Chains A and B, each alone.
Chain A
Amino acid sequence: MNYFPDEVLEHVFDFITSHKDRNSVSLVCKSWYKIERYSRQRVFIGNCYSISPERLIARFPGLKSLTLKGKPHFADFNLVPHDWGGFVYPWIEALAKSRIGLEELRLKRMVVSDESLELLSKSFVNFKSLVLVSCEGFTTDGLAAIAANCRFLRELDLQENEVDDHRGHWLSCFPESCTSLISLNFACLRGEVNLGALERLVSRSPNLKSLRLNRAVPLDTLQKLLMRAPQLVDLGIGSYVHDPFSEAYNKLKIAIQRCKSIRSLSGFLEVAPHCMSAIYPICGNLTFLNLSYAPGLHGNKLMKLIQHCRKLQRLWILDCIGDKGLGVVALTCKELQELRVFPSDPFEAGNAAVTEEGLVLVSAGCPKLNSLLYFCQQMTNAALITVAKNCPNFIRFRLCILDPIKPDPVTNQPLDEGFGAIVQSCKGLKRLSLSGLLTDQVFLYIGMYAEQLEMLSIAFAADSDKGMLYVLNGCKKLRKLEIRDCPFGDAALLEDVGKYETMRSLWMSSCEVTLGGCKAVAEKMPSLNVEIIDESEQMEFNLDDKQKVDKMYLYRTLVGHRKDAPEYVWIL
């Protein structure tokens, strides 16, 4: 099989960067497997419990970059109890003991302690990049350790983490010798920061391209930072409130105009909409605009801002933009590929909300649209069908109607036909989230048409087991299935247990699955961990097989039952 020396193959493999492709390469033959594993530098582990750190280290001694995901996706919505798992410490510990020269660690939905961060900072000389998304369990002390000890740190990117903020001094921990920063994102921190230290840090970081500030950074500091870093490509503004007639504001205007490289703008955690005109000069170059934390921006001011953003490719916005505002988006942002519309007031009456009209407008005006997250008050089949026709390129389509079982308000029909049109038209659809009133029919369509579907999220839908069966039978590429509050029971669960080995995970909560059913799966498939999460302690007293299981999470694994599960998690 080998016509070339290993070095040549290795060189060829260097050009193969996607994880999937490299995984495929490693399956070709033993020698390719060997070559691939020694040359592999980046590993992605979608479920940290599917493999152990020891096995990872054994297989990929050249590892430099590790991506780990911990809790299941529904943990984002409070469906997974707090200390369910996803601890990164064992990984860092194992890696630290080995000879792995870790340079990059990217974590999502994991529990990260200060000890882990400290150990991380001290164990890897060349550590360069830490990205934490939706993690928790650490404080600014951990960040201080990273700042102090990682001499070549290039990236510290904290996205939407729950951080216990002990206020400010961590920024001062970056030594004067640290000049390598390329990306610094601390927008999610809620506390004060040492502004002087921040300014000095930015001054001595000539390579800084991405800077996202938190709310505690006031305008005049922002202006100084921009003056020192006109090369910024990605800017997250913390607080943007000021008097439009002040000197500080004028200075800011000048500073912003110098930043000709900015392509991505976010933040605005506090915003004075009448001062947005200072931003206009850079709007024309923006490809990513995230205003989803700026409820203060709406109405005409918002629309005016959008009108300047002709090159926008990704827009994250609150629903106070309204259908009208989305119309402006449709007219202006012809390059738009990704749209996310978040609810500004999810539990209250939707004064300023979007409906199906806004979505239809965007679909008509932005033919390149391929990724959508849309929270709205209502949706109609007709609108979905129109959207499907206008935008056949959807890769991600996530629709959340705030009332999860709302039918089409015009026809009172379920939204089966609308979603059916989406899956039929969008042949490349990889991710789908459903809402609204839905019957088994929509799942029939999904099973039939969604051939590339990898992730499906279902809530409050379907009428019977058939729904789940259609999906399991039809979607060959399904990797993640998460279901809540649907009438799927043991019959559906047990129909094809082998399927679950081809998937990363299955989540079912508030369904009709019983303990007996889960046990049956566990018994038939030793390669799966079947976890029952039951905080009510009922399981202890009543182990009746017929009992309904509140939350079940099953996933394939090579390393058997995990040892760190809390009391209320039963692994069958």
Chain B
Amino acid sequence: MSPPLLGVEEEVQSSVSSPSVECISENGMGLKERNYLGLSDCSSVDSSGVSSNLNLATELRLGLPGSQSPERETEFCLLNLGKLDEKPLFPLLPSKDGICSSSQKNVVTGNKRGFSDTMDGFSEVKGYVYTEKSWMFHEAGSDSESPQSVGHGKYPGNSGVNVILSTRSPGVQASVKQDEPANVLQEQPRATNGTSLKQTVISNNTTGAPAAKAQVVGWPPIRPFRTKTLAASSKNNDEVDGKPGPGAVFVKVSMDGAPYLRKVDLRTYSTYQELSSALEKMFSCFTLGQCGSHGTAGKEILSESRLKDLLHGSEYVVTYKDKDGDWMLVGDVPWEMFIETCKRLKIMKSSDAIGLGNYLVSRTLPKNLLEQWRNPRPTTKKNLDMGANFLMPNPNQTDNSEVKSVGCVVESERSYHVSSHL
């Protein structure tokens, strides 16, 4: 049962959850001013009460109203050690709800508690997001009604987001890992395991720049010698004989508007088709969040069909940066050659992909062309002279009618993303 909300609807919206701050907020203060570290004035209640979200984008809202976890109380008590015992540790965790208890982990608001949300952040992303499509955006937190409205996206529980700096200065404390997915999530049709979202990484991304990956010092526990050697191994493998070696070929994949990048090993795919489905899986949740990522209130309700439209339909193209630093359209060259030359991938909106290399891109990519991208035919060169069809170098492409829009790309619609990406 959902624990009593401590009347913190607005507070949840305004606060990045640092427990002690929450506690203070519980006393009825509403919005709190925070400095750039996310510390509020009253954070110096006692040394253990200092909790700062190094959430650099403090205007982001995490979690939904009502997502306040009862753990807040517990955390408050944690400040005085030892009172914890009888607290229900996972009060919000009837397992039938499938609520992820990771967020329930009620660890102390120790001064140097570093792990919490950073960990959550990157771990969630890694472990959960793409499999469960539980991608969350901060901005979602500003909508109280969104929990119900979300079909596929789950909006994050209010998780304290902490970017852990590698030098953990005492004044900064990672707040307790937060989790209040419970309340919110209980109201939703629970599709998958609740994931408390620790969007640490996302927090930096209002500008669209790739978020810095925040990592906890010393985790995972691997000797630096090993990581250095492995890094050197992969690099060398790539350089061997001037061709990509047998090693994995990891390239970064960015997507416009997505808060952070992913990496894929191109060697695990053998065709463009496989790559495209993998990318689709990885980024579908971004697409969902995309609608809300600019902090606007009142998100669109995303139905499944709309999602499919976004992906399969018209709006995105996959491009890559080759060895010479040029941005090219994916799909032109044979797969093996592609792996050798691809250094980076980017999924951009077709409207942004103007002037890509020598290619002009139509603003909306017709479905059939996208299909053809997925199944490229081996010979590619001869299509270059196919008039307006620059997108799909496909010998079988016969219908150019839909590609007329090439050339009428509306310049004015070029979003601010373009300049930053191209």
Nearest-neighbour CB distance to chain A for B132, whole angstroms, equals 9
Residue B412 at the chain A interface, CB threshold 8 Å: no
List residues of chain A with CB within 8 A of the CB of B216.
404
Report the Cα distance A426→B106, complex, angstroms: 29
Q: A464-B82, A546-B46, A550-B170 are in contact. Are A406 and B223 (CB under 8 A)?
A: no
User: Contact at A460–B119, with CB atoms within 8 Å?
Assistant: yes
Q: Verify B233–A295 contact, CB threshold 8 A.
A: yes
Whether A512 pairs with B222 at a CB distance below 8 angstroms is no
Shortest Cβ gap from B279 to chain A (Å): 12
Known A351-B265, A538-B170, A548-B110: A512·B48 in contact at CB below 8 Å: yes
Min CB distance A53 to B, Å, is 28
CB closest chain-B residue, reference A464? B84
Contact with B along A465-509 (1 / 0, CB 8 A): 110000000000000000011110111000000000000000001
List, in ascending order, chain A residues with CB within 8 A of B98's CB: 412
Pick the most buried of B112, B114, B236: most chain A CB atoms within 10 A of its CB.
B112
Smallest CB separation, B220 vs chain A (Å)? 5
In the complex the two chains form, what is the Cα distance from A161 to B226 in whole Å?
A: 10
Given known pairs A160-B223, A272-B240, A375-B220, the reply for A295 and B230 (CB within 8 Å) is yes
Question: Which chain A residues lie closer than 8 Å to B264 at the CB level?
Answer: 351
Please, which residues of chain B bring their CB within 8 A of the CB of A465?
81-82
A290 to chain B, nearest CB (A): 12
* B contacts with A: majority SS: loop
Given contacts A375-B220, A405-B120, A536-B169, contact A293 B126 (CB under 8 A): no
DSSP class of A's interface residues: helix, strand, loop or mixed? loop
Contact of B127 among A271, A292, A343, A378 (CB under 8 A): A378
Q: Which residues in chain B, 191-213, are within 8 Å of chain A measured between CB atoms?
A: 193-194, 213
Interchain CB contact under 8 A, B222 and A342: yes
User: In A427-462, which residues have CB < 8 Å from any B CB?
Assistant: 433, 437, 439, 457, 459-460, 462
**Beta-carbon contact of B126 and A512 below 8 Å:** no
Given A77-B222, A377-B126, A411-B95, residue A273 in contact with residue B246 (CB < 8 A): yes
User: Chain A residues near B219 (CB, 8 Å)?
Assistant: 77, 404, 459
Q: Answer whether A460 and B48 are a contact pair too, CB < 8 Å, given A78-B218, A296-B246.
A: no
Interface centre among A274, A292, A405 (most CB of B within 10 A): A405
Known: A270-B233, A412-B101, A548-B47. A350 touches B126 (CB 8 A): yes
Whole-angstrom distance between the alpha carbons of A439 and B87 in the complex? 12
Q: Does B27 contact A (CB under 8 A)?
A: no
Cβ of A134 within 8 Å of any chain B Cβ, yes or no, is yes
- Identify the closest chain B residue to A438 (Cβ): B105
Q: Given contact pairs A344-B230, A466-B85, enumerate 11 new A-B contacts (beta carbons under 8 Å).
A: A188-B225, A215-B236, A343-B222, A351-B268, A403-B126, A414-B105, A464-B85, A510-B112, A510-B114, A512-B110, A550-B168
Chain B contacts to A: CB under 8 angstroms: 46-48, 78, 81-82, 84-85, 87, 89-90, 93, 95, 98-102, 104-108, 110-116, 119-120, 122-127, 130, 167-170, 177, 193-194, 213, 215-227, 229-230, 232-234, 236-237, 240-241, 245-248, 250, 262-265, 268
What 8 A-B pairs have minimum CB-CB distances, sorted nearest first? A403-B123, A487-B108, A77-B218, A296-B247, A510-B112, A548-B111, A489-B81, A464-B84
A-B contact pairs, 15 of them (CB 8 A): A77-B221, A270-B237, A271-B237, A273-B246, A295-B230, A320-B248, A346-B227, A352-B268, A405-B120, A412-B93, A412-B95, A433-B221, A509-B112, A536-B170, A550-B168
